[in-house]
Every structure is written in structure tokens, then in C-alpha cells.
Amino acid sequence: MKPGAIHFLFPPDCLVVVIGQDGLVANTLKYLNGQPVIGVNPEPQRWDGVLLPFKVQDLKALIPEAQSGKRPTRSVTMARVKLSDGQELHAVNDLFIGPRSHVSARYTIEMDGRREAHSSSGIIVSTGMGSTGWFRSLLTGALAMAGPASSEELKLLQHAGFPWESNHLYFTVREPFPSRSSQAELVFGRIERGASLQLTSAMPDYGVIFSDGVESDFLEFNSGISAEAGISPKSGTLVQ
């Protein structure tokens, strides 16, 4: 545990009410193991709140209904990265695997029997919930350059993302650089449940992995450390 890190414990049968912005809901889901979450928007005039369908005044009627199982819920597939030293990190939106600063990330990447050495600015592994955020931004840039040659799958993902409860994730490599010592063909793909994207760091002291844009809460990913990114065994539950 890092000094100063905050950790929460929630009983397995609790109902969690989150009052705040979307990011607080997403971050709370990472500490849970399926307990239902009610997202409340305290200032609907300021925040759209994709994950905040309720207002404060709704809670009086909503909480008893949710506790008795009378409210519908939606499952949220999460991502997880496991390191060879036993550490792991979960993500509701996406994982970033790459350099701490503006230098090239160096690593080997392997999936479905394919293996390459990469030099890039990092990898994004996206969940369905995160597919309309950072992941979409990266696809938009790639599609603009590829034009008509882009696949239908890429176009669909760029416009609509994929469902929050999907049994898969997607990954994309940022700015892959082909050279005599690096390749750039294994740069996009789908990670099915039970499978993983496997990575081994070749970065001496500047490799990091963080989730959901929280750069301050990271795992070191330096030379010799291996990582497996895939679907988390736990999922989130949002009250609808």
C-alpha cells in the first residue's frame, strides 16, 4: 500500500449512495464488488451526469425500492491489470500503460500468439463505459488519418463506443513507431473475457500504469516486470 493511499471497506450487502460528479461514481465502483450504487447529481444545472440519473429529492423513495430489489440495475464491466510481482489495479473506464513523462514507452506486447517489440507513447485498454472518452478520442484521430481505409468496426466504435456490460475490452496503442528494433502492427484489438493482453516492460525507471486518469495512483512498470490486462473478475452495479 502506498503511503497516503486511501482505501475503503464496504459490507457485501450494503447499498452505496454517491453524491457528486461522474468521476466519483466511477472511482467508488473500483472499491466495490457488485454492491449496487445510486448516483446522485447535486447540481443538475451544472453537470450533465451520465452516471448521475437521480436528484437528491429522489432518495427518500428510491432507497427503500433499491434495498428491496424493486429497482432495475445495470452491470458495468471493469478492467484489471495484474503484475508479475503480485500487484493489481482495476479500472472502470480505462487503463493507461506507458511512460511517466514525454518519452517513448518500450515494451513487448503479446496477444493470440502474436508478439512485437514496441516503441510508442503508451497503450490504452478501454472498458465499455470508457469507450466514449479517451479511447474514442484516440480512434477519432486514427480514423481521420486512415480515411476510407478504416474498418467498419473502428467506425462503429468511434461513433457509439460499446456497451458497459460487454464481455470484452478493446486496446489501442498510441503513436506506435516502427524501426529496426520495433514493430507497429499489433496496435489495436479486442480482449475477450478469459483472455489477456500480455506486456513486458523494457523501461528502466519511468514505466507506469494508472487507471481512469488518476495519475497519482499508479503502479510502477519498469524493466523485467510483466503485466496481464483483461476483464476484472468483479463488476460494478448501477441502480437505474
149-198 confidence digits (pLDDT tens): 677 677 778 778 999 999 999 999 999 999 999 999 999 999 999 999 99
CA 57 to chain centre: 31
Determine the pLDDT at residue 142: 83
Specify whether the CB–CB gap between 171 and 209 falls below 8 A.
Answer: no
Distance CA 201, CA 75 (A): 33
Q: What was the pLDDT predicted at 149? A: 65
Taking the model in full, what pTM does it have?
0.91
For the cut 50, the answer to whether the pLDDT of residue 1 exceeds it is: no
What band does 3 get if pLDDT is binned at 50, 70 and 90?
very low
pLDDT for res 160 = 82
Residues 6+ apart with CB under 8 A from 144: none
| Chain mean position to CA 136 | 13
> For residue 26, what pLDDT band results from cuts at 50, 70 and 90?
very high
